[in-house]
Amino acid sequence: MKHSGKFLIVVLLATNTVPYHEDFDSNCSSFGLCSITEIEVGLLIGKGCYNDVMELIGVEGSYEEEENAEAQDCQQVSSPPLGASKKKPASSKYVVKKIRYDLSNSSRNDAALSLSTEAKFLAALSHPNIISLHCLGDNPGSTEFFLVIDRLETDLAQQIDLWKKEEEKLSLSSIITKAGKKKEAASSMTDRIHIAYEIASALVYLHDHE
C-alpha cells in the first residue's frame, strides 16, 4: 500500500478465493520481469501463512537495453542503482514478497497460485492509498514467483495505538499549557479525519472497480 502524506492504508485481498486465469500475461504485461536470482534482498520484515516479505536492496546484474527492456523496468526500482555501493539504504521504498521456503509442496503450490492472483489484482489497481505493484518474478504460477511492491511502514491498528499513547502523554504533561494541549488535540483530530478520508477514498475506488 502506498504512502500518501502521513499514512499507509492496508487493503486486504482475498486472493485464495479467486482462481488463477490464463489472461495473467495480458493483465500484467506492462510490469518488468526479473529472475529470483537477480533480486538482492535484505532483512525479513514480515511473514504470513504463505509468504515472506523482505526489504529490496537492489537488482543484480546488468542489462542490454534492447534485449532486456523488461528487466530494466524492474531495475528502475532497485536501491541502490546498479554499479553503486551495495551498502544497505537507510530505508528501502520497496519490498519483495515471495513464497516461504519452509512450506510443504502442496502448500507451496497453493501459495504460488495465491501470489499470482494477487499480482493480477494489484496490476489492475491504481490509487494513491492502495499498495502499488512495481515488478514481477519471471515465472508466474511457479514456486519461485515473487512481487516487488511498495513498503508498508505502518497500519491502522498501529496508528490507533500511537494516537492513544500520544493522548496519554499529552494529558500527563505538566509542561504544555492548556492552550497548547488544545492545539495538539486539534492537530491530531485533523490527521485522523485526513486518514479516514484516505481509507474511504480507497474503499470507494475498490467498490467502483470490482
CA–CA separation, 84 and 72 (whole Å): 16
Q: What is the pLDDT of residue 194?
A: 93
Tell me which residue has cell 504470513: 48
If we measure between CA atoms, which residue out of 151, 141, 150, 95 comes closest to residue 115? Answer: 141
Q: Give me the CATH topology for the region 3-150.
A: Phosphorylase Kinase; domain 1 (3.30.200)
Q: What is the pLDDT of residue 31?
A: 61
Say how many CA atoms lie within 13 Å of 191 toward its Cβ: 16
DSSP bridge pairs for 3: 8
If we measure between CA atoms, which residue out of 54, 68, 150 comes closest to residue 98? Answer: 54
Indicate the pLDDT class of residue 39, thresholds 50, 70 and 90. Answer: confident
CA–CA separation, 127 and 132 (whole Å): 8
If we measure between CA atoms, which residue out of 90, 106, 108, 199 comes closest to residue 155? Answer: 199
Cis check for the bond before 80: say yes or no (omega within 30 of 0): yes
Q: What value, to the nearest 5°, has the Cα angle with vertex 199 and ends 194 and 205?
A: 125
**What pTM was computed for the model?**
0.69
Indicate the pLDDT class of residue 17, thresholds 50, 70 and 90. Answer: very low
DSSP bridge pairs for 98: 52, 146
Q: What is the pLDDT of residue 209?
A: 82
Q: What is the pLDDT of residue 15?
A: 37
CA–CA separation, 13 and 200 (whole Å): 16
Q: Contact 136/119 with Cβ under 8 angstroms?
A: yes
Instruction: Summarize pLDDT for 90-104 with one digit per residue, the tens.
Output: 457 889 999 998 999
CA–CA separation, 197 and 71 (whole Å): 37
CA–CA separation, 17 and 21 (whole Å): 13
Q: What is the pLDDT of residue 60?
A: 62
- What average pLDDT does this structure show over 101-130? 89
Query: In percent, how much of the chain has pLDDT > 90?
Result: 28
Q: What is the pLDDT of residue 91?
A: 52
Instruction: Summarize pLDDT for 140-195 with one digit per residue, the tens.
Output: 778 888 999 998 888 888 899 999 999 999 999 888 898 999 999 999 999 999 99
Domain positions in the chain are 3-150, 156-208
**79 versus 175: which is more confidently predicted?**
175
Sequence-distant (6+) residues with CB within 8 A of 102 are none
